[in-house]
Amino acid sequence: MKITFLGHTSCVPDVGADTSCLLVNDRVLFDTGWAPVLRLRELGIDPLTIAGVVFSHMHQDHYLGLVQLMFICGLQGKPGSASRTPTIAGPGEHLGEVVEACGNYLQFARFPECAIEPELRPLSDGDVLELAGLRIEAHAVHHVSGRHGVEPALGYRVKEVATGAEFAFSGDTHPFPPVAEFARGVPLLIHDGAHTPPEDGAAVAREANVGRLVLTHSPEARREDVLARARPVFPLTDAATQFMTIEL
């Protein structure tokens, strides 16, 4: 299983670093960041080969790029092809309205030849999604933001069915010890290192007995601080960088 960070920084892209977006096996995105079509192109990957997108939650920095992906699928995907019906999954509370808004923004009613029909898969705690050879378990996490309070947010445990390779992704979460339960024993945990203090993310990795930890959602400028705080707690910690690729 191959995992590539198409983005990892905080809410707004830096020069050379996009926001939250993981690419798994060149086929499935977890969140889109701001510009996934451009990021895929930078890696020489055809965006039409993306089978689906799995959102951790519906905050803008995690879904802004969906509209790009939907547009290129409609513009260049052949009618009747899989690229016209990508799976779009995520917490059910706001998934449908965001996808519908993207279709409205793209004027699907006025340009029906560019309209796509995504397969919506609203998820909640305990659900399992099978997608492109991956078995994806959804687990509730705890994400609080600004005046909107608690945001429905999911973390995932992901298994490549053919090989049994696994990783876990916390999505955006404040310190939430149950992440250690769904991440238990995975070779790789990708954990929020911004809403959760790095040392607390590291404590989750230690409790879950994972192979290695990659902290994400922090700008490059915070990298040294993140590592200095996390590594005393869990030495096998890294901080995500743009296009970091991990093979499991």
CB of 19 to Zn ion, least distance (A): 7
Tell me whether residue 59 or residue 121 sits nearer to Zn ion (CB atom). Answer: 59
- Number of amino acids touching Zn ion (CB under 5 A): 2
Q: Which two tokens stand for residue 217?
A: 């959602």
Q: Are 144 and 115 in contact (CB under 8 A)?
A: no
Tell me whether residue 59 or residue 159 sits nearer to Zn ion (CB atom). Answer: 59
CB of 61 to Zn ion, least distance (A): 5
CB of 240 to Zn ion, least distance (A): 13
CB of 214 to Zn ion, least distance (A): 16
Tell me whether residue 18 or residue 172 sits nearer to Zn ion (CB atom). Answer: 172
Measured CA to CA, the distance from residue 216 to residue 11 in angstroms comes to: 12
Which of 31, 166, 172, 199 contacts Zn ion by CB under 5 A? 172
The verdict on 142 binding Zn ion (CB under 5 A) reads: no
DSSP 8-state secondary structure symbol assigned to residue 152: P
Which of 8, 59, 139, 191 contacts Zn ion by CB under 5 A? 59
Number of C-beta neighbours around residue 125 at 10 A: 14
Coil, strand or helix at 12: coil
Q: Name the one range near Zn ion by CB under 5 A: 22-30, 59-67, 123-131, 198-206.
A: 59-67
Q: Which two tokens stand for residue 245?
A: 């690729």
Concatenate the DSSP letters of all residues of 165-203 into one string: -EEEE--S-SS-TTHHHHTTT-SEEEEESSSS-HHHHHH
Task: For CA atoms 136, 22, 145, 239, give the dihedral sign.
Answer: positive
Give me the residue whose beta carbon is nearest to Zn ion.
59
Measured CA to CA, the distance from residue 212 to residue 208 in angstroms comes to: 10
Tell me whether residue 32 or residue 83 sits nearer to Zn ion (CB atom). Answer: 32
Number of C-beta neighbours around residue 206 at 10 A: 16
Tell me whether residue 114 or residue 204 sits nearer to Zn ion (CB atom). Answer: 204
Q: Which two tokens stand for residue 179?
A: 């992440």
If you search the block for the tokens 């959804």, which residue do you land on? 138
CB of 235 to Zn ion, least distance (A): 26
CB of 94 to Zn ion, least distance (A): 12
- Contact residues toward Zn ion (CB under 5 A) are 59, 172
